[in-house]
Structure 1
């Protein structure tokens, strides 16, 4: 087992455990550049790895009461349809376009991570605390469905779970607290990633042995990430992750799009 698999697998699990997102953004480049997997195969395998890892992590959050199953069902239903369609589109999309879109998604995620945290008034903070019980959640299901389709298509085409887009959507459209948004996001990411993997399976080559090893390490990392999320300053982690995303996105653009 190579050190690259261990590092990438742990990073995938840690990000999913701490933020409820970011797994595919690590997994796909690791498979592509560290383990030299073909681009379309890397996208498919990334979806499969994140699907299993996110499922395990989502179960942990569900046991703590941090998953809204109704929102998961609505977002997941439309997200799965969008992801499967996106995967079928991704199979025939030129690799340079897929990698270019992936880099753009990474820049967007980096911007979200590096953006200063908005200041909340004390009244707003009290409202967030009350939302932890789920009492003040008021989902806008029409908006959730549309967002699910859009994020799903993106997931299928470029191989990202879309958690960094789902979490803020759940907070804004459903009134979920951050804890419940992260847990619910993981359950949605799992559903969409399974659908994306199904869309690629049978049409591209998949190394199931490598997937199994990577997934096992990622699951271990997700347990550690769940524990770290309660101990480490989230803002410091977000800024470090954002800077890392900027570097990797720039590398992908330079290597695969500009000189590819």
Structure 2
């Protein structure tokens, strides 16, 4: 229970600061820290990440850092994909799922470190508008990919949404964080519904994890706007690489 409390706070802090990354910590933490089987850790992670993301979103709403139409398109596109991802998850060995999770995190982190973080694109034109002919297919594709991964790996998708929103759709980092949190809430709810009934949840662990995650997200969200966006982006990438290595080692040795 102590591990759940501490790790829950870390999840919330990451969501509050970065608009993602919490689910990367949540699944390994619940499996290796709290001792839950993967079948229980996945829906528990989605419950925790969804609740803490909704809380972390509050200061972003006040700052006007959400691109609502883009969030709606990506979120809706991801709902059916989450159910497909959950179906695939049930057919795979848990070790394969975790190793795939680590590989995907590595690709996302390297793309963030190598990619050009200058903003601007179809979804964020210099004049502030949106070129929907280019933005719409990119948004739908991003939603399908994030939704599928939510169902497959039990994550909210923020660790991929942030690179996609910044590098592919061209949003500035503050808008990417706020928009990502909205999408994570939608994806987490869809993923949780897709995994409902897979295994009985440990509600004591889930409640402890969720409570500290919410408190952590509120505290971090208060300070996030004072930190440089480019530095946050690099921190995020290094964190993803570190957790990917740890997950791969644990999965290979289990």
Normalized against structure 1, the TM-score is what? 0.85
Q: Report the CA distance shift for 1:143/1:240 in structure 2 as closer, same or farther (over 3 A).
A: closer
Please name the residue that 1:205 is paired with: 200
Question: 1:242, CA displacement in angstroms?
Answer: 4.1
Which runs of 5 or more residues in structure 1 are unaligned? none
Please name the residue that 1:253 is paired with: 248
Q: 2-side partners of 1:251 and 1:168: how far apart?
A: 21
SS of structure 2 residue aligned to 1:189: helix
Please name the residue that 1:138 is paired with: 131
Q: 2-side partners of 1:112 and 1:225: how far apart?
A: 25
Question: 1:119, CA displacement in angstroms?
Answer: 7.6
Q: Report the CA distance shift for 1:161/1:116 in structure 2 as closer, same or farther (over 3 A).
A: same
Please name the residue that 1:92 is paired with: 91
Q: 1-side partners of 2:39 and 2:117: how far apart?
A: 42
> 5 Å matches for 1:149-168?
149-168=144-163
Please name the residue that 1:171 is paired with: 166
2:158 and 2:181 in contact (8 A); partners too: yes
SS of structure 1 residue aligned to 2:36: coil
> 5 Å matches for 1:24-103?
24-103=23-102
> 5 Å matches for 1:95-244?
95-112=94-111, 115=113, 118=116, 135-139=128-132, 140-172=135-167, 174-235=169-230, 238-244=233-239
Q: Number of aligned pairs?
A: 249
Question: 1:90, CA displacement in angstroms?
Answer: 1.2
Question: 1:216, CA displacement in angstroms?
Answer: 1.1
Q: 2-side partners of 1:38 and 1:137: how far apart?
A: 44
Please name the residue that 1:22 is paired with: 21
Question: 1:130, CA displacement in angstroms?
Answer: 6.7
Question: 1:244, CA displacement in angstroms?
Answer: 4.4
Q: Report the CA distance shift for 1:54/1:69 in structure 2 as closer, same or farther (over 3 A).
A: same
Normalized against structure 2, the TM-score is what? 0.86
Question: 1:13, CA displacement in angstroms?
Answer: 0.8
Question: 1:43, CA displacement in angstroms?
Answer: 1.4
Q: 2-side partners of 1:142 and 1:36: how far apart?
A: 41
Q: 2-side partners of 1:218 and 1:233: how far apart?
A: 23
Deviations for 1:94-144, whole angstroms, at most 9, x for unmatched residues? 11211111111232343245x2674869xx8xxx8977xxx3343411221
Deviations for 1:167-216, whole angstroms, at most 9, x for unmatched residues? 23233554432211210111001100111111111122211221121111
